[in-house]
A and B are shown apart, each in its own frame.
Chain A
């Protein structure tokens, strides 16, 4: 009886420890994880316990199955997901985060009457030459957009739209990615943020679009008109 009691207690104690964790259930091909704020990628094995601050990515023809809470999430190949994105957000929190760019903005110092004058800048002599590392992660943006679609597939619309937006900011190669834009608009629609969705679609129509995309966007706008 005592053994059962201790076992139950230990199990109960373990639940909160595991609650925020994500467990690797299955792996196919190359799957790597980046811990927290580190920059190194490490291979993942089945049964590994991952933390929300970690990031996971899959290589070509690879996939991974994760247990996220009670959900089982399959991440297809060539995808990168920030595990912290596997969470639901309140509408208020989402709207605030959409405005984070403004909250974070550096104010115009000319408006500040108490500005402290700063000193001279010291410059080095040699400037120019882009870093080689700049292009080494050229596919990251694309992988993150794939990851955002996975988030949408599993109902994490709020984090998906935030991820698509930040990815477009950080990775120029996906800034005008039409699929990413459609996914962003679709995410807003799912979140019932019609005006945001409409703004995305209208910005797409402002540029030349292939017929297929134009039809999809026009259809989406028609859909929004009825709402």
Chain B
């Protein structure tokens, strides 16, 4: 409180007036012309106006954007001429999920004058003893936090300053009057808390608690407190329905039974039209105001112009003191003193980081990574990223995938064209390095998925997911991937096959050229089986397969291990092989795998392999050559080549010829190699 004394006056005449209040300037809460047009902005706000409508909307604001709003009051009954500068502020995103907003708003101002009920006439002059009351909300701060791609929370604090200047006469020595100016100040921070949530691409919701907390720094003295700002706690709920990228409709309702509704139409990618209205039970008429706005958007600027027309009678320039004291100023951002006005908002993005055009909505990893077959993920998708175009024009999105330590560089998909607001499921492929082959057991690793939608550097969105890497010996049970355990180039495998070739050089040399492969295969089989010291239960460790070098070193394994090793040995001497994968219908537990190899003998000479066609299979290669293949049951490894062949042939006849397994699909032939 400040007191000032003015010169001495003599009382000549006292004139008495009725008690009136005159309001001079109008506070405007519509710090955004887009907001004025849509009217129901609680769930849709995504710019600096979020400080008033819903602070959660800050999290959807563009990174590093400056925004300013000015207004012109239209019509009669106000004393403000010309354009009023209302707000200047900006938003800045930090660390992906955090957004801050700051606003300077000199236009958020409401002044009242309470003229004195009498004047002193001093000769030809009259002296008034008016009270001046002023409410200002010059500063606001806000913070928005993106909880998830769908949800955000935010808080804003608006700084309210109130001032009251009182002019009082007092008398000295009964005849000498003096006047005394007394200034009172009060200030407070008023906090709003808001949430926004997108249920899906079409439905968005928002809720805000206005004036939820108030932190007073100072207040008027008790005797003048009737002039104080009286904020009202209000809960406002909003919903936006966006059936297409062209159209959005919004509705707001609050705990004071007031509401707003609006519609926004994207006429073109750059042009937006909005129409809204404010309504409420406390208004007369029920629909208190209609609003319209037009917006133009480009990459470098956004300009919105809006107009609001109040339908009911507005408070005139004057009201009685009693009315003023009864109604008070409860909300500087919406009150009965507002006037029809035209607004202009200009927003300029300053960000070095461009605005995101694509968003990753979901990442689905569809399989685990098996080190033995890791290279298949260079072509076969490991997962899928669902990408949404969040811009207003078609984009070309590319998705990158990276797992630190197990990939040397991120992979990038080809471009996928996505229409505005549409989504695309983009398959993720990965090229892993040899580090995965060293994994002894299962591990979980974080993987980064990025989407890039424009030629600029950087990415539009990034999410992290997890990938399971299995141990080097793990197998997913699929015959298609069993072949990746076949390592004909392994030095141990080559050493073994060359040793056998040397040891049986003469025998191999005496065989006919046509039977050369069959003889080699028989020798490899016999040598390999003779060196085995143990064979595990064929059913054991179904999901684990030894690499051939391990089986050769350990001198044993189960049927899968032996099949893989024998296949590798055959392949190392240039013999083509295939796994026969049998999954009898309804008896999946009886599934088994055996192998067959190509003797290289032409079908027309098949009788040199066997006089019984049931002992072999004729297969045609892609060049049209038909050759004789021999089925081998690897579980018979210790019983010799002839027996393994016989059982293999019997099994093949039973499953394929008698059982029609191949044509019915429950027998598969998985080729491992051919030359």
Contact = CB atoms under 8 A, between A and B. Distances in A.
Contacts of B497: 122
Contacts of A116: 483-484, 486-489, 571, 672-673
Given A104-B617, A127-B513, A130-B608, A37 B603 contact: no
Contacts of A52: 658
A133 B607 contact: yes
A84 B657 contact: yes
Contacts of A100: 662-663
Given A118-B574, A124-B516, A169-B626, A107 B671 contact: yes
A39 interface: yes
Contacts of A109: 671, 673-674
Contacts of A129: 512-513
B483 A34 contact: no
Contacts of B513: 126-129
Contacts, number: 167
Contacts of B669: 104
Interface in B335-355: none
Interface string B614-629: 1101111110001000
B370 to A, nearest CB: 13
A143 B169 CA distance: 139
B510 A106 contact: no
Interface in B567-587: 571-574, 576, 578
Nearest to B511: A124
Contact of B621 (A93, A106, A113, A172): A106
A34 to B, nearest CB: 6
Contacts of B378: 113-114
Nearest to A132: B608
Say what secondary structure dominates the interface of chain A.
Answer: loop
Given A108-B622, A109-B674, A124 B484 contact: no
A115 B610 CA distance: 31
A122 B520 CA distance: 9
A104 B619 contact: yes
A120 B501 CA distance: 13
A116 B488 CA distance: 9
A35 to B, nearest CB: 10
Chain B interface size range:
35 or more
Nearest to A170: B606
Nearest to B620: A105
Contact of A34 (B484, B612, B618, B650): B612
A210 interface: no
Contacts of B607: 133-134, 136-137, 140, 170-171
B515 A131 contact: yes
Contacts of B658: 52-53, 84
Nearest to A114: B376
Contacts of B621: 105-106
Contacts of B487: 116
A130 B605 CA distance: 10
A216 to B, nearest CB: 27
Nearest to B379: A113
B227 interface: no
B537 interface: no
A146 B625 CA distance: 27
Contacts of B287: none
B613 A122 contact: no
A107 to B, nearest CB: 6
Nearest to A130: B512
B574 A39 contact: no
A143 B606 CA distance: 16
A128 B663 CA distance: 37
B494 to A, nearest CB: 6
B488 A118 contact: yes
A56 B487 CA distance: 44
Nearest to B667: A103
B498 interface: yes
B502 to A, nearest CB: 9
Contact of B653 (A37, A93, A124, A126): A37
B622 A107 contact: yes
Contacts of B618: 104, 166, 169-170
A96 B626 CA distance: 19
Contacts of A118: 488-489, 571-572, 574, 673, 675
B514 interface: yes
A219 interface: no
A100 B604 CA distance: 18
B500 to A, nearest CB: 9
B277 interface: no
A100 to B, nearest CB: 6
Interface in B217-260: none
Contacts of B574: 118-122
Contacts of B612: 34, 37-39, 55
A203 interface: no
B365 interface: no
Given A36-B614, A55-B614, A104-B617, 20 more contacts: A37-B612, A53-B650, A53-B654, A96-B663, A101-B620, A116-B487, A116-B489, A119-B493, A119-B573, A121-B573, A130-B605, A131-B514, A131-B515, A134-B605, A134-B607, A134-B608, A137-B611, A166-B613, A170-B603, A175-B604
In order of increasing CB-CB distance, the 4 nearest A-B pairs are A121-B574, A127-B513, A96-B663, A108-B622
Interface of A: 34, 36-39, 52-53, 55, 84, 93, 96-97, 99-101, 103-109, 113-131, 133-134, 136-137, 140, 166, 169-172, 175
8 contacts: A38-B612, A39-B612, A53-B658, A96-B660, A101-B620, A104-B618, A127-B516, A175-B604
